Amino acid sequence: RVTRHYKFDIKLQKVTRLCHTKNIVTVNGQFPGPRIIAREGDRVVVKVVNHVNNNVTIHWHGIRQLRSGWADGPAYVTQCPIQTGQSYVYNFTITGQRGTLFWHAHISWLRATLYGPIVILPNRHIPYPFAKPYMEVPMIFGEWWNADTEAIINQALQTGAAPNVSNAYTINGLPGPLYNCSSKDTFKLKVKPGKTYLLRLINAALNDELFFRIANHSLTVVEVDAVYVKPFKTDTILITPGQTTNVLLKTYNHHFSGATFLMSARSYATGIAAFNNSTTSATLQYEQSSNSSTPSKPLALLKPTLPFFNDTSFATNYTKKLRSLATAQFPANVPRNVDKHFFFTVGLGLRPCPKNRTCLGPNGTMLAASINNVSYVQPNMALLQAHFFRQSRGVYTTDFPVNPLLPFNYTGNPPSNIMVKSGAKVVVLAFNTSVELVMQDTSILGAESHPLHLHGFNFFVVGQGFGNFDANRDPANFNLVDPVERNTVGVPSGGWVAIRFLANNPGVWFMHCHLEVHTSWGLKMAWIVMDGKLPNQKLPPPPLDLPKC
Ligand code: C2O
């Protein structure tokens, strides 16, 4: 067991992409930010010092944070923001996880530029459940805006209209050769023939699910969200914001010497989602072997063919292939019995325009998003502090509806009143409650896929389907043997997904759509998990440097 120390200086850095130069908020001047590397069981200590004018927090996305909820990071949920000139030390231990995760800012839209990979190597004595790769390469997808992203979301929230979409997708911060002015801004991976590479794919994009494919190569998926899966081959992967996917890439033997292939990603978008219809690419360049006379192939011939932007049947088939390894060494501990069932609708809605304002949303309203028709409104104190010090009054209420406020045909005609309620409402769970949660997409403003992310836990995806969830019929088909275990799941467009988790981590745990625009509109809520009776089932008090609001 080792302690890994990092220092994150939050500071501005001038960066040019697509021939536009702007100052962006970075960690240590790097974009994307530095890589955190640790081994399963290690302690990670990151001192974050804020040198910019924005308030900042950092979230370690997918890290379980067992009894270390004070280090989780979402602003006004587990902590108040780190203000200008202040610092906070995030301190957590990586327990029972190995694989790829990522860190990102968790306040407003700062994660547009504040993100980086987390690589968790397995315990020294427990090798990968697949042959050791020749090389490991993190590839992190993002989005680039020429304009200032904080200005974009602030203006959108003022007017109630949808924010502008990004100008480019990026791979390791670089848009790649299919954009104007970008060929030199391309991530290049040089490979040797006949070797296996482990690509650690991370979707850190703000608002778009992505398809990813490498021309003329197939991929073997071996892990998602830092949990091993049963390996399967595919040409294309689907990855939502908040998800990570490890794939093995086997390079061909010599006949491609000197050739270059594009590795490309573009949007999967359904419903009314506004999206950037462009393609980011990195290059896969085969070493030129000295004894080969094969000429390099021209780039244009070696582009991958990606699914269409709205190819939900590809998305469905792909997600159905994801299964837990479920071996004796890596078991799938699916909760068998359920203590509490919840049914949450997730989707978009509208909010009345505040007085004295002109709203540019549909019919003079503001766009909103909700869970069970409750659109979350951020209090000005952190939920976890309010909970721990028993000062919830004026911060949150515990009347989050366990069922939709108004049941209707979720995937058919929307109800006549599509206005959302608002508030900071939470669900309180006793320690060790076994939870089943069905999340149902609604078609109120068009059906749309929502990548829902839960903090503090992994969950098992026991079922999914299209149309309205049927509580009498559908549970009979749930997979309790080898369902995929992860931290972010796409609620299918016009369908539902069922997850199970064991609430064995005391604290306050955020759950939200990882499309940042939907989070901004209120598609979020929190679970409070009470302490258990034993000393090792209780959340310790906060660190002394926890920021104040
Ligand atoms: Cu990746 Cu609540 O976040």
Q: Confidence class of residue 297 from pLDDT cuts 50, 70 and 90? A: low
> Which residue's alpha carbon is nearest to atom 3 within ligand 1?
61
Distance 75 CA to ligand 1 centre (A): 11
- CATH-assigned architecture of domain 340-537: Sandwich (2.60)
Residue 298 has pLDDT above 90, yes or no: no
DSSP at 125: T
Please give the Cα distance from 229 to 221 (Å, whole number). 7
Q: What percent of the chain has pLDDT over 90?
A: 91
- Residue 74 CA, closest ligand 1 atom number: 2
User: What are 345-364's pLDDT values in tens digits?
Assistant: 999 999 999 999 999 999 99
Q: In what order do the strands lie in the sheet with 366-371?
A: 421-423, 374-376, 366-371, 340-351, 433-441, 495-503, 459-466, 485-486
Name the amino acid, one letter, at 120. Answer: I
Distance 6 CA to ligand 1 centre (A): 21
Distance 103 CA to ligand 1 centre (A): 9
- Residue 111 CA, closest ligand 1 atom number: 1
pLDDT in the model for residue 292: 56
Distance 252 CA to ligand 1 centre (A): 37
Distance 537 CA to ligand 1 centre (A): 24
- Residue 455 CA, closest ligand 1 atom number: 2
- Residue 488 CA, closest ligand 1 atom number: 1
Enter the tokens of residue 357.
Answer: 């304002």
Distance 242 CA to ligand 1 centre (A): 7
Please give the Cα distance from 200 to 36 (Å, whole number). 13
- Residue 62 CA, closest ligand 1 atom number: 1
280, 141 contact by CB (below 8 A): yes
Please give the Cα distance from 7 to 253 (Å, whole number). 42
pLDDT in the model for residue 414: 84
452, 439 contact by CB (below 8 A): yes
Distance 39 CA to ligand 1 centre (A): 22
Name the amino acid, one letter, at 13. Answer: Q
User: What are 466-522's pLDDT values in tens digits?
Assistant: 999 999 999 999 999 999 999 999 999 999 999 999 999 999 999 999 999 999 999
Q: Confidence class of residue 274 from pLDDT cuts 50, 70 and 90? A: confident
Average pLDDT, the chain: 95
Please give the Cα distance from 294 to 546 (Å, whole number). 61
Q: Judge residue 86's burial from the number of C-beta atoms within 10 Å of its C-beta, 0-12 exposed, 13-18 middle, 19 or more buried.
A: middle
pLDDT in the model for residue 415: 86
Distance 253 CA to ligand 1 centre (A): 40
Enter the tokens of residue 544.
Answer: 């002394």
Distance 58 CA to ligand 1 centre (A): 10
Distance 514 CA to ligand 1 centre (A): 6
Residue 72 has pLDDT above 60, yes or no: yes
For the ranges 61-75, 158-172, 301-315, 381-395, the lowest mean pLDDT is seen at 301-315
Mean pLDDT of 144-173: 97
User: What are 10-39's pLDDT values in tens digits?
Assistant: 999 999 999 999 999 999 999 999 999 999
Residue 153 has pLDDT above 60, yes or no: yes
Does 340-537 match 127-328 at the fold level?
yes
1-125 classified as CATH 2.60.40.420: yes
- Residue 241 CA, closest ligand 1 atom number: 1
pTM of the model: 0.97
- Residue 512 CA, closest ligand 1 atom number: 2
Domain segments of the chain as ranges: 1-125, 127-328, 340-537
pLDDT in the model for residue 294: 56
- Residue 61 CA, closest ligand 1 atom number: 1
Q: Which CATH number fits domain 127-328: 3.10.150.10, 1.10.3720.10, 2.40.128.20, 2.60.40.420?
A: 2.60.40.420
Q: Confidence class of residue 257 from pLDDT cuts 50, 70 and 90? A: confident
Residue 293 has pLDDT above 90, yes or no: no
Mean pLDDT of 311-318: 95
pLDDT in the model for residue 244: 98
Q: Residues near ligand 1 with C-beta < 6 Å? A: 59, 61, 74, 104, 106, 242, 453, 455, 510, 512, 514
Please give the Cα distance from 149 to 152 (Å, whole number). 5
| Residue 348 exposure: Cα atoms within 13 Å on the Cβ side | 25
DSSP at 47: E
User: What are 403-437's pLDDT values in tens digits?
Assistant: 888 789 999 888 888 899 999 999 999 999 999 99
Residue 254 has pLDDT above 50, yes or no: yes
Distance 111 CA to ligand 1 centre (A): 10
User: What are 366-401's pLDDT values in tens digits?
Assistant: 999 999 999 999 999 999 999 999 999 999 999 999
pLDDT in the model for residue 299: 47
Q: Confidence class of residue 217 from pLDDT cuts 50, 70 and 90? A: very high
- Residue 242 CA, closest ligand 1 atom number: 1
Distance 455 CA to ligand 1 centre (A): 7
If DSSP codes are grouped into helix, strand and coil, which group holds residue 299?
Answer: helix
Q: Judge residue 158's burial from the number of C-beta atoms within 10 Å of its C-beta, 0-12 exposed, 13-18 middle, 19 or more buried.
A: middle
User: What are 99-152's pLDDT values in tens digits?
Assistant: 999 999 999 999 999 999 999 999 999 999 999 999 999 999 999 999 999 999
Distance 418 CA to ligand 1 centre (A): 27
pLDDT in the model for residue 288: 83
